Amino acid sequence: MESTVTVSPRGEERIRNGHFWVYRTDVASGQAAAGAVVRVVDRAGGFLARAFFSDKSQITLRVLTRHDVPVDRAFWRSRLEHARAFRSKIRIDANAYRLVHGEGDLMPSLIVDRYGDCLVVQALSQGSDRALPEFVELLAELERPKGILARNDPKVRLLEGLDQQVSVLYGHVPERVTVREGAIEYDVDLAKGQKTGAFLDQRENRLAAVQYVTGRTLDCFSYAGGFALQLASVAAEVTALDISEDATAMLARNAARNGLANVHARTTNVFDELRLLDRQGERFDAIVLDPPAFAKSKAAIPKALSGYKEINLRALKLLKPGGMLVTCSCSYHVNEATFAEVVFDAALDARAEVSVVEKRMQSRDHPVVLGMPETYYLKCFILRKLA
């Protein structure tokens, strides 16, 4: 029997305004099993939505549909088919991309990434965790992968009372797969790499950056070389910086695999290195800043903003006039306007005249939900230093 959950007028308003989440404080009454699909009603008993129920998280309800239809296998199959159709429509020039992006594909808290022949899934709430066996069956049927790996190790699962684990759910998953992005091939460690193995959300920004880069290039926070490898074909040389030795080792292997002799990876702290490069009087034609999310919570915002300002200020000083800056923030607590302000502040302090060439966001296979501004988490500005 389907359980019913009644929401407060504020919860009702959120749902009507296109938001997918209803917090515990906006639930008036009703209980259900962990991860069950529930019927959500207003205080008069009128149908509002069907949603995943969580008995642990502050996010009690995640809306699945605002139509009164059953959430069954056919429902999920159709959602997956829509997600797949969109990926083929946008003609992705890579065989590693996001197939399902949670709310952005109307499958809240479910992530599915394709890496060549393998799929990597993440269930980030009790609801998607409970439905995961069904998702795996459907994915195996529709996508015919060699294997499906669950990267259920993100910390957010703890907020749902779920454990953290990495396990093969279907077929065979090799430790490392080689994938293609544009003209570049790179290795991905599916079980241990960051996120589900790589930063797929930057794919289109990397390809866009290629249009503007020439000369001496610096890739800060390079990880396994997402930007550096793409830019090496148009730059005279690329210096890639990352604090993780594993990342720079992987980057060096990826550069060798692509025959790119002009990429140099250094294991170092970007904050220190930018200062050092400035003292040494080094100058660059292009710089990429792709730091990790500095603001992981609301409380961390002020410190995050000073971090963003610091690296942008240093980078703008290191750029030659006419040089290009690709600067990113993936903190969803820092919106586009705030990020733009920080970069502007940095330009003022660096006494740099800067023009905006492009304002970009996460790749199109990570859709932003119009009613949920926080799903626009990745901002990427391509700027030109005029003088």
Give the angle subtended at the CA of 93 by the CAs of 89 and 98, to the nearest 5°: 70
- Helix, strand and coil in the chain, % to nearest 5: 35, 30, 35
User: Is 97 or 227 the residue whose CB approaches ligand SAH more closely?
Assistant: 227
Judged by CB under 6 A, does residue 312 bind ligand SAH?
Answer: no
Could you give the 3-state DSSP secondary structure of residue 19? coil
Range 145-184, binding ligand SAH (CB under 6 A): none
Q: How far is the CB of 369 from ligand SAH (least distance, A)?
A: 24
* Measured CA distances, 181 to 97, 173, 192, 200, 369 (Å): 9, 20, 20, 10, 25
| Catalytic (active site) residue 330 | yes
* From candidates 118, 150, 235, 247, binder to ligand SAH by CB under 6 A: 247
- We find the least distance from the C-beta atom of residue 321 to ligand SAH, in angstroms, to be 25
Closer residue to ligand SAH (CB): 59 or 218: 218
x/- mask, ligand SAH, residues 177-206, rule CB under 6 A, reads ----------------------x--x----
Provide the residue type at 252 as one letter.
A
Kindly state whether residue 275 participates in binding ligand SAH, applying the rule CB under 6 A: no
* Residue 285 · residue 324 · CB < 8 Å: yes
Q: Which is nearer to ligand SAH, 125 or 312 (CB)?
A: 312
Question: SS3 for 102?
Answer: helix
Is 316 a binding residue for ligand SAH by CB under 6 A? The answer is no
According to CB under 6 A, which residues from 250 to 269 bind ligand SAH? Answer: 269
CA 260, CA 229: separation in Å to the nearest integer? 8
Instruction: Check: CB of residue 3 under 8 Å from CB of residue 41.
Output: no
User: Which residues are at the interface with ligand SAH (CB under 6 A)?
Assistant: 199, 202, 221-223, 226-227, 241-244, 247, 269-271, 290-292
**Residues designated catalytic:** 330
